[in-house]
């Protein structure tokens, strides 16, 4: 197989003709995009990549496109629009085109201002709101505690929604915090209106709901110690969402994450593509930061993903991790890597121990906001999310952390990476443990 680099692209002129079987490095693709070099395949387009296969979720609107025979360089990878999250791949590295679903009909910013039903907030400030039908774009966050309030602020600061609604059982808490957060809008430069309350009817029409209601860990507690208390809360929240936000995509944060996400799916009765959990994005960013410190590079130069469960059975497949374009296993020795994975797994407890009261919330809220914004802006990102396994990786019927293509309506597909047999076995063991714990939920 011939592999061409950026220098070959630079020397090619306006058109680069490639024999089938020739590969371009990601940098070469980037360079082709930058220079506007058109790429033509002699004898047909390349076969889909062996590295990863993607399964569409049943009932989802997306299905994998057939690769065209001739593809312009821009179609091979327009970095900002098509790259998956920097958590998984180096910033701007193009996702293999065969894995990229067609861009969803996401409303563009200019549609906001032109929208006939533009709310005062949006029309005054031009925030990126309004759905395809011109209705205001709304997100909700249930649980106005540390994670919830911070997530609401992060969502507002992104200036994508017309309104972010914060809900909590404690009278006055959500409305007080929402008012306080909204008072920062002029300084923060966002137009999203923050409102708060106790009544789920305020979440009506929300496209996305982040659920951060529930007890956090205290020092010495495991995540599963929270199961009974938080299962009651999740059931209550699910009933509110079923009644008032039946079309929302729900992002669960409440611990124990895998079990609570499964419970939310069961209790809402929503399709699995609209119920997902946040843990992998957090665990991944923790690993990236720790690995970056060990390697002496920027955290966003590290690409990796944390799968499996949010806890003891977290799986960080090192075969998929990179620093820049170099396999992480070639950059850091085995002992260092093992120590990094262990520390990542224990990071939540490490923060809990230091805080002495409550658990982490800055990184968790950033992770939740990242998931919501990936969906809301139609960035076609692949992020590690807790999703209902569909047979990929030989796992089905259980919520577990897997690489997930996110679309505007939730889970667009699960990406199957070429894991080593040991990594695959570890992932399957994690799923089996989660399945056992889910069985026990029925009695809680």
Among 128, 148, 197, 413, binds ligand TXD (CB under 6 A): 148
**Smallest gap from residue 144 Cβ to ligand TXD (A):** 5
Stretch that binds ligand TXD, among 77-85, 129-137, 141-149, 435-443 (CB under 6 A): 141-149
Among 42, 108, 170, 243, binds ligand TXD (CB under 6 A): 170
282 is an interface residue for ligand TXD by CB under 6 A: yes
Among 237, 294, 316, 328, binds ligand TXD (CB under 6 A): 237
Is 307 in contact with 428 (CB distance < 8 Å)? no
Stretch that binds ligand TXD, among 43-51, 89-97, 215-223, 339-347 (CB under 6 A): 215-223
What does 323-363 look like in DSSP terms, one character per residue?
ETTEEHHHHS-HHHHHHHHHHHHTHHHHHHHHHSSS---HH
Burial of 384 (0-12, 13-18, 19+ CB in 10 A): buried
Name residues whose C-beta falls within 8 Å of residue 196's C-beta, 6 or more positions apart in sequence: 144, 165, 166, 167, 168, 173, 174, 175, 176, 177, 178, 179
Looking only at residues 347 through 386 of this chain, which bind ligand TXD when binding is defined by CB under 6 A? 358-361, 364
278 is an interface residue for ligand TXD by CB under 6 A: yes
Catalytic residue among 146, 244, 310, 409: 310
Whose CB is nearest to ligand TXD? Answer: 145
**Smallest gap from residue 97 Cβ to ligand TXD (A):** 32
235 is an interface residue for ligand TXD by CB under 6 A: no
Helices (H) and strands (E) in the chain, counts: 17, 20
51 is an interface residue for ligand TXD by CB under 6 A: no
Among 169, 292, 366, 441, binds ligand TXD (CB under 6 A): 169
Name residues whose C-beta falls within 8 Å of residue 347's C-beta, 6 or more positions apart in sequence: 283, 286, 290, 360
Stretch that binds ligand TXD, among 57-65, 132-140, 265-273, 274-282 (CB under 6 A): 274-282
Nearest to 71 by CA among 100, 92, 108, 51: 100
**Smallest gap from residue 43 Cβ to ligand TXD (A):** 48
What Å distances lie between residue 295 and 13, 215, 287, CA to CA?
38, 36, 12
Helix (H, G, I), strand (E, B) or coil at 376: helix
Helix (H, G, I), strand (E, B) or coil at 73: helix
101 is an interface residue for ligand TXD by CB under 6 A: no
Nearest to 112 by CA among 127, 90, 124: 127
Name residues whose C-beta falls within 8 Å of residue 357's C-beta, 6 or more positions apart in sequence: 218
| 425 φ, ψ (degrees, to nearest 5) | -65, -40
Tokens 């506007």 belong to residue: 36
Site string for ligand TXD, 284-313 (x = CB under 6 A): --------------------------x---
310 noted as active-site residue: yes
280 is an interface residue for ligand TXD by CB under 6 A: no
Active site residues: 310
Interface with ligand TXD by CB under 6 A: which residues? 142-148, 167-170, 173, 212-217, 226, 230, 233, 236-237, 253-255, 257, 278-279, 282, 310, 358-361, 364
């Amino acid at each position: 197989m011939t592999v061409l680099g950026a220098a070959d692209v630079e020397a090619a002129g306006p058109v680069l003709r490639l024999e089938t079987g020739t590969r371009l490095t990601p940098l070469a693709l980037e360079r082709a995009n930058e220079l506007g070099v058109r790429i033509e395949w002699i004898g047909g387009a390349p076969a889909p990549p062996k590295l990863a296969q993607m399964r569409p979720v049943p009932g989802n609107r997306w299905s994998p496109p057939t690769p065209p025979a001739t593809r312009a360089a821009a179609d091979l990878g327009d970095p900002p629009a098509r790259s998956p999250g920097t958590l998984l791949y180096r910033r701007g590295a193009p996702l293999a085109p065969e894995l990229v679903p067609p861009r969803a009909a996401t409303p563009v910013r200019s549609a906001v201002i032109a929208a006939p039903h533009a709310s005062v907030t949006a029309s005054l400030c031009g925030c990126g709101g309004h759905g395809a039908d011109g209705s205001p774009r709304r997100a909700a966050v249930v649980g106005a505690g540390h994670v919830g309030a911070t997530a609401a602020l992060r969502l507002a600061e992104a200036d994508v929604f017309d309104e972010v609604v914060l809900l909590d059982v404690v009278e006055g808490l959500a409305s007080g915090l929402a008012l306080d957060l909204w008072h920062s809008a002029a300084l923060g430069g966002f137009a999203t209106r923050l409102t708060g309350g106790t009544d789920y009817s305020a979440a009506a029409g929300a496209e996305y709901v982040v659920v951060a209601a529930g007890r956090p860990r205290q020092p010495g507690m495991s995540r599963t110690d929270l199961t009974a208390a938080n299962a009651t809360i999740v059931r209550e929240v699910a009933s509110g969402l079923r009644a008032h936000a039946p079309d929302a995509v729900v992002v669960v944060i409440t611990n124990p994450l895998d079990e609570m996400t499964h419970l939310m799916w069961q209790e809402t009765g929503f399709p699995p593509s609209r119920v997902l959990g946040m843990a992998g994005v957090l665990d991944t960013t923790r690993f990236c930061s720790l690995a970056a410190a060990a390697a002496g590079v920027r955290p966003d130069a590290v690409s990796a993903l944390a799968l499996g469960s949010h806890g003891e059975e977290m799986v960080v497949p090192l075969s998929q991790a990179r620093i820049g374009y170099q396999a992480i296993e070639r950059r850091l020795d085995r002992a260092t890597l093992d120590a990094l994975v262990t520390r990542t797994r224990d990071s939540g407890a490490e923060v809990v121990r230091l805080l002495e009261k409550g658990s982490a919330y800055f990184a968790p809220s950033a992770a939740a906001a990242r998931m919501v914004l990936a969906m809301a802006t139609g960035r076609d990102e692949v992020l590690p999310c807790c999703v209902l396994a569909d047979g990929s990786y030989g796992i089905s019927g259980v919520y577990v952390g897997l690489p997930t293509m996110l679309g505007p309506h939730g889970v667009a597909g699960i990406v199957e990476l070429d894991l080593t047999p040991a990594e695959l076995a570890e992932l399957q063991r994690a799923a089996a443990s989660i399945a056992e714990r889910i069985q026990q939920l029925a009695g809680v």
